[in-house]
Amino acid sequence: MTRSIVTQDVVRAAARRGRAIRVGPEDAVAPGARALAEALGVRIEREGADPPSGALTLVVGSDHAGFVLKEELKTWLSQKGYAVRDVGCHSTEAVDYPDYARALAEMVARGEAWRGIMVDGAGIGSAMVANKVAGVRAAPCYDLSTARNAREHNDANVLTLGGGLIGAALARQIVELWLATEFAGGRHARRVEKINALDVARAGTSRRDDRG
């Protein structure tokens, strides 16, 4: 059996494609490649290992303005059979949405959750925060058309909702469609690769800045 080595070039290529890297039991990961994979949000999955625990796990989060809707969605999603992890907040006391949107996005990027759903007042600010995390493609959705488009065209892995703009019934419909819709691939895959390539470019710029 040929023993393969995962290099930083392999990681960068996977980041551009928006895919995880599958390695065999005897394959090795080169020094620096694993750290780069974490920085770019690329999962390294070893064949023969147990399936990732986040395969059917959703992570939810909110600020104070989205707390009530998040709690309703959390209960509903649990009833539908998903394992739901909640990064907060845990009351209607005023908090800062960037703290929770970042925690949620980082869980998705690390592969600890299949997808993430973040609720704030309008769904806009949290999307901005989540999209700063490498490997995350967050989309604010307000109706069924935007939910379908976010998945089919953009392969969004984080959904942001505006608790002050939509009610629980519509939110459930949006979430259900968003979770059920597959990425269309084709010409859209090429465009998503270009989105993912920005994470690679940004990581490279950051490393150059760190070196001074």
Domains and CATH numbers, the chain: 1-49 (no CATH), 57-180 (3.40.1400.10)
Q: Which tokens hold the place of 189?
A: 């895959």
Report which DSSP code applies to 158.
E
| C-beta separation of 199 from 156 below 8 A | no
Amino acid at 108: V
- Please say if 153 is a catalytic residue: yes
| pLDDT on residue 3 | 62
Q: Beta strands 138-140 and 158-162: pairing type?
A: parallel
| pLDDT on residue 212 | 59
What pLDDT, in 10s, does the model give residues 65-119? 999 999 999 999 999 999 999 999 999 999 999 999 999 999 999 999 999 999 9
Distance CA 201, CA 12 (A): 10
Which residues neighbour 158 within 8 Å (Cβ) at sequence distance 6 or greater?
A: 104, 105, 108, 115, 116, 117, 118, 127, 130, 136, 137, 138, 139
| pLDDT on residue 206 | 58
**Run of H or E residues at 134:** none
Please choose, from the candidates 139, 204, 127, 126, the residue with its C-alpha nearest in 3D space to the C-alpha of residue 177. Answer: 139
What pLDDT, in 10s, does the model give residues 37-51? 777 777 776 654 444
The pTM score is 0.74
Distance CA 196, CA 182 (A): 18
